[in-house]
Structure 1
Amino acid sequence: MERQIAYIALFAALIAALGLLPPIPTPTGVPITAQTLGVMLAGTILGARRGALASLLLVVIVLMGLPLLAGGRGGLGLLQGPTVGFLLGWPFASYVSGLIVEKWRTGNLFLVASVAAFLGGIVVLYLFGVVGLTINTKLGLVEATTASMVYVPGDIVKAAVAGFLTQAIAKARPNALLSRAS
């Protein structure tokens, strides 16, 4: 149990640390950041429940005011900004990514984890993100969806990196890959 709590805290810290990389601003007000890679990895490595808890832990800490998002942002004001959907979607994205790796036990782990990261970290996350953009900006649903497509190429690369890192961890430290623990 203590080991699992340590992993959850470690992955929350990883997501926060990825926020130290400078964000790339976009016209929508939702910057391109490396933090979604951490969200994907939390799921593919820790599994659905623990990955979601790691992402949720960081979301709660950020909303409490710690400036751990890329660009040094934090606080309740984020709930009224264009990034709210993406931020609140992080636990769900990690959960789906982890669930896919837990359930899809055959085949190449790189492919499994990459697909899981794509479905959780892009498809699920964008559902939340587009809704948040629509609610907190003057963009309609179609415009918010179209504007969000600017993130897709980088997120596909992040999903592949998550697949690669998940496979590498499975080879180097199989016991650390909690998403595949029995």
Structure 2
Amino acid sequence: MSTRDLVLVALFAAIIVALGLIPPVNLGFIPVPVHAQSLGVMLAGVVLGAKRGTLTVALFMLLAAIGLPVLSGGRGGLGVFMAPPSGYLYGYIVAAFVTGYMSERLVTARQTGLVQGSYFFVAAVAGGVFACHLCGVLWLAFVTGLGLPAAFMGTLAFVPGDVLKALIAAFAGRAVMVGYPLLPQRA
């Protein structure tokens, strides 16, 4: 891995941390807050690809695990990895990989802007919404004993916001593809 790749991984980990400064919103009916950090995960996958995007999230998770308050709401430490919303944190790694992998396979420099943006959106929804929510629902059902149907119904409240985040990530991915294409330069 080159120095450039390490800098990009660190930069996008910092972006995810910065998005955590936006205060989380608790819905009350499910123990998982609404926050902006999943947008950073989608951005890492869309812009950097599978390998670098996954390393970005792994670095972010390491920072949280050693106790730095990098998670939304200023949380950090090993305890957050056992809480009910932890499945979504584990899902971040899967989300970054799936989003990045699909972006690498679907998007090429020769495509029109609309096609690129559409594929970025599909990749962000597949990874950042479906894959992340799958991990979150499974963990939530396991830890809280809610059962899969109740955990699934609870996560549906987050889907519209996450689809909006996927749209933002798609626009950002398209803008980066035009101005400074990082995705085609696979690590």
Query: TM-score higher than 0.5 here?
Result: yes
* SS at structure 1 position matched to 2:74: coil
Q: How many aligned residue pairs are there?
A: 179
Q: Deviations over 1:11-63 (max 9, x none)?
A: 11100100000101022111001000000010010000100000011011101
Q: Quick one: distance in 2 between partners of 1:25 and 1:63?
A: 22
Correspondence for 2:144: 137
1:77 to 79, 83, 93: 79
Correspondence for 1:127: 134
Correspondence for 2:184: 180
Correspondence for 1:49: 51
Structure 1 stretches of 4+ with a deviation exceeding 6 A read none
* SS at structure 2 position matched to 1:98: helix
Shift of 1:92: 1.1
Q: Deviations over 1:113-147 (max 9, x none)?
A: 11100000011001110011112213111100110
1:116 to 123, 132, 139: 123
Q: TM-score, normalised by structure 2?
A: 0.92
Q: TM-score, normalised by structure 1?
A: 0.95
Confirm or deny: 8 A CA contact 1:101 1:180 kept in the other structure: no
Moved more, 57-66 or 105-114: 105-114
Confirm or deny: 8 A CA contact 2:141 2:147 kept in the other structure: yes
Confirm or deny: 8 A CA contact 1:16 1:68 kept in the other structure: yes
Q: Quick one: distance in 2 between partners of 1:2 and 1:159?
A: 29
Shift of 1:80: 2.1
Confirm or deny: 8 A CA contact 2:107 2:120 kept in the other structure: no
- Structure 2 residue identity aligned to 1:82: P
Q: Quick one: distance in 1 between partners of 2:118 and 2:107?
A: 11
Unpaired runs of at least 5, structure 2: none
Identity over the aligned pairs, expressed in percent? 42
Unpaired runs of at least 5, structure 1: none
Confirm or deny: 8 A CA contact 2:117 2:171 kept in the other structure: yes
Q: Deviations over 1:74-125 (max 9, x none)?
A: 1111122111100011111001000011111354211111110000001100
